Amino acid sequence: MSLITVDSLTVQFDTDEGRITAVEDVSFAVAPGEILGLVGESGSGKSVTAKSLMRLNSDNARYAAQSRVVLHLDDRKVDVLSLRTGREMQIVRGGAISMIFQEPMASFAPAITIGDQMVEQLVLHRRISEKEAARVSIEMLERVGISDAAKRFGQYAFELSGGMRQRAMIAMALSTRPRLLIADEPTTALDVTIQAQVLDLMLELKQKVGAAILLITHDLGVVAEVAERIVVMYAGRKVEEARARDLFANPRHPYTQGLLGAVPKLGSSLEEKGRTRLSEIPGMVPNLKKPIEGCAFASRCPIATDLCRKVAPAVEAKALGHFVACHHAPREAIAA
Amino acid sequence: MAQFIQFTLSRAVMAIVTLLTVSLIVFSLMELVPGTCAERYLAFKNTQGSQITVADIEAEKKRLGLDRPFLVRWASWVENVFVRGQFGESCILRLNINQLLADKFWISLGICLAALLAAYLIAIPVGIVSASSKSPVTNNVLRFLSYLGLAMPNFLLALIIMLFSTVMFGDSLTGLFSKEYRDAAWSWAKFGDFLAHAWLPIFILGWSATAFALQTVRALMLDEIGKLYVTAATARGIFGRRLLWRYPARHALGPVINSLGFDLNRIFNELPVVALILTLTESGALLIESLARSNDQQLAGAIIFLLTASIVFLNFVTDIMLALMDPRVRRGLMG
């Protein structure tokens, strides 16, 4: 049983320059306690997809009629896209789902203390007294390894160090005991040593709290380290989905193959082959203002044919648990 | 706390330094007017029919201390103003400037501050709500009114109102006091009479000030609403009025306070024109008169200095308010 299912999600934005299709017909599911990596470059629609789960896209976002996002709770199902009022949406905003952002400094209000923001959220979602909420908050800050938590509770974001802010943000996100934590590029702004600490912390807390994680990133190194399953997006479409192990060992979509080829590998470096260049994906991401005919990747794909340029490939299982949207991806026999 | 006192003191010192600089500029400007106070007064006497000689001028110069060097005269002017609060004597009218201005300055300042206050009392809530409103009707109506306020000159608005009032009610709405109170001592009745007249200049000055402040508040709010911390708060389930006022509105208020001094300055600049049209002899009109008609440099200097001092003082107050409101500044000062 999935925790949350996304079915044929299509998100468009009305802008002055016309309607932009940011996400097109994307489906996936997150199981309870699972870590799912959502990978793609900027503009691939991964953030818009994730924000759809909390209805955080701006007001000019249009969700297609057939799109469904369903949250499966113990006692009920929530049809996220049909939620209307702010109160109704609390179930996915800070209730069952929490989100952490790339910039912890920017995601705390600058003139409100960390503690006030944590208490406010706890009182909203857990129906506890402010005093109790303060106790829980300080305890949570301690659990993420912030020393002198009671003092930090009364401080502002600008008074904390970068790593500490990141921890405080994780503490705040997990204090309401969400079932799903959406992490939007959580390590991108951090230096490598802090990155590792933050990832470890997220994993540790996930174990304790029992939350699933939707990890949005363009950093393949990060997903390789922590994700169990990976969804690769390109130009608003899902192009490949597989268990992390399978995806890295055997990428089947030419785009994924290109992405992995563009990552430097330790060992396979200069001494071995002389000065080999990292391979890159030629061309540019297509313009999303116009409807894309055929496969979105066709214009950059080394193996594209006329079929690719005319007919968009459907996402199909090419091996057990390995889904690819490509006309030319090899298919393995799948045991029934 | 010690740091806060230190901060206040350092700001006060800076304000005084600013005022001294201003006084030097004002005093130099007064000097740049062709002719000295003595020459001008005697020339004025001459037009009234008195016979004067060069010796008379020299004697007058000596009496006024005009034979001393520039810096010494500036120093003594500063000493009089800063220490005794005395602006000396008017060149032409030969009256004590403090007595001449007295009520007039406070009335002018009161009208300007009232216009400023009214402008912000309207602009802050309206700006905040309009920035978050998605209704195109509300937004366009506000935008139209706001541009009208920005584009229509104050004197035109004043003239329109006066014309309308004269035709409809037979009252041109000019002046600040009814006849019976003009020379009376201050009393509640006189104050009431003042309010009954002062609403019009306050309204006219406040009209464009509100339009300006509305643009400022709206722009600052739109800026704040787009920030990540607002999205983050939304993602925590905060919504509606609580989200609006506690998050973007609260954070937009700092720069709004900062714009107060600037706006007072603009209102001051507009006051003389409005005062001239509404024949408010008790306020800004005096400045134009002293400058344009009679070249009364002492009086003009005093008025310019008082106006500048008001703005410097307001900026000092807003600095302190900002320090108290913004934890980033407050923590830096008070630990």
pLDDT of residue B289: 67
Residue B334 domain flag: no
**Which of the four pLDDT bands, split at 50, 70 and 90, describes residue A236?**
very high
* Shortest CA distance from B133: residue in chain A: A59
Q: Indicate if B108 and B145 belong to the same structural domain.
A: yes
Q: By mean pLDDT, which of A213-217, A271-275, A276-280, B270-274 is the weakest?
A: A271-275
* Alpha helices per DSSP H over chain B: 2-32, 37-47, 54-64, 70-78, 97-132, 136-151, 154-169, 188-225, 228-235, 240-244, 250-258, 260-277, 285-288, 297-325, 327-334
Q: Indicate if B109 and B31 belong to the same structural domain.
A: no
Residue B50 domain flag: yes
Q: Is A155 in contact with A188 (CB distance < 8 Å)?
A: no
Given a cut of 70, whether residue B138 has pLDDT beyond it is yes
More confident residue, B87 or A178: A178
Residue B149 domain flag: yes
Distance CA A109, CA B247 (A): 7
User: What's the rounded mean pLDDT across residues A281-304?
Assistant: 85
pLDDT of residue A241: 96
Give the nearest partner residue to A109 out of B237, B240, B247, using CB atoms.
Answer: B247
Q: Which of B223, B229, B231 to mutate to test the interface with A (most CBs of A within 10 A)?
A: B229
Q: Indicate if B30 and B147 belong to the same structural domain.
A: no
pLDDT of residue A336: 47
Q: Does B293 touch chain A (CB under 8 A)?
A: no
User: What's the rounded mean pLDDT across residues B99-118?
Assistant: 85
Give the nearest partner residue to A159 out of B235, B246, B331, using CB atoms.
Answer: B331
Given a cut of 70, whether residue A276 has pLDDT beyond it is no
What is the per-residue pLDDT across B198-232, written as a single tens digit (0 to 9) for each?
888 899 899 888 988 888 898 999 999 989 999 99
How many domains does chain B fold into? 2
What is the per-residue pLDDT across A96-135, written as a single tens digit (0 to 9) for each?
999 998 888 888 999 899 999 999 999 999 889 999 999 9
pLDDT of residue A308: 92
Q: Does B133 touch chain A (CB under 8 A)?
A: no
Using a CB–CB cut-off of 8 Å, the residues of A that contact B are 54, 56, 59, 85-87, 89-90, 93-95, 98-99, 101, 103, 106-113, 117, 120-121, 124-125, 156, 158-159, 172
* Shortest CA distance from B243: residue in chain A: A86
Q: Indicate if B165 and B208 belong to the same structural domain.
A: yes
Domain termination residue (choose one: B17, B51, B84): B84
Domain termination residue (choose one: B256, B278, B293): B293
Give the nearest partner residue to A86 out of B227, B240, B247, using CB atoms.
Answer: B240
Q: Do B331 and A156 touch (CB under 8 A)?
A: yes
Q: Does B229 touch chain A (CB under 8 A)?
A: yes
Q: Indicate if B43 and B123 belong to the same structural domain.
A: no
User: What's the rounded mean pLDDT across residues B151-156?
Assistant: 84
Residue with token string 């390590």: A187
Count Cβ atoms within 10 A of the Cβ of residue A43 and give its class: 0-12 exposed, 13-18 middle, 19 or more buried.
middle
pLDDT of residue B284: 60
ipTM rounded to 2 decimals? 0.87
Give the nearest partner residue to A109 out of B235, B251, B325, using CB atoms.
Answer: B251
Q: Do B234 and A93 touch (CB under 8 A)?
A: yes
The chain-wide mean pLDDT, for chain A, equals 88
pLDDT of residue B190: 81
Q: By mean pLDDT, which of B36-40, B96-100, B137-141 is the weakest?
A: B36-40
Q: Do A110 and B229 touch (CB under 8 A)?
A: yes
Q: Indicate if B8 and B74 belong to the same structural domain.
A: yes
Q: Which of B133, B224, B236 to mutate to test the interface with A (most CBs of A within 10 A)?
A: B236
Among A169, A219, A238, A218, residue whose Cα is nearest residue A198? A169
Q: Helix (H, G, I), strand (E, B), or coil: what is residue A152?
A: helix
* Shortest CA distance from A157: residue in chain B: B328
B248's tokens: 């973007």
Give the nearest partner residue to B229 out of A87, A93, A108, using CB atoms.
Answer: A108
Q: Which of A112, A116, A140, A158 to mutate to test the interface with B (most CBs of B within 10 A)?
A: A112
pLDDT of residue B67: 80
**Which of the four pLDDT bands, split at 50, 70 and 90, describes residue B96?**
confident
Q: By mean pLDDT, which of A264-268, A331-335, B74-78, B111-115 is the weakest?
A: A264-268
Closest CA–CA distance from residue B237 to any residue of chain A (Å): 5
Q: Domains in chain A, start-ordered, CATH in brackets?
A: 4-227 (3.40.50.300), 237-324 (no CATH)
Q: Indicate if B148 and B123 belong to the same structural domain.
A: yes
**Structural domain boundaries, residue B244:** 101-293
Element (H, E) at A226: helix A220-226
What is the per-residue pLDDT across A193-223, written as a single tens digit (0 to 9) for each?
777 888 888 888 788 888 999 999 988 888 8
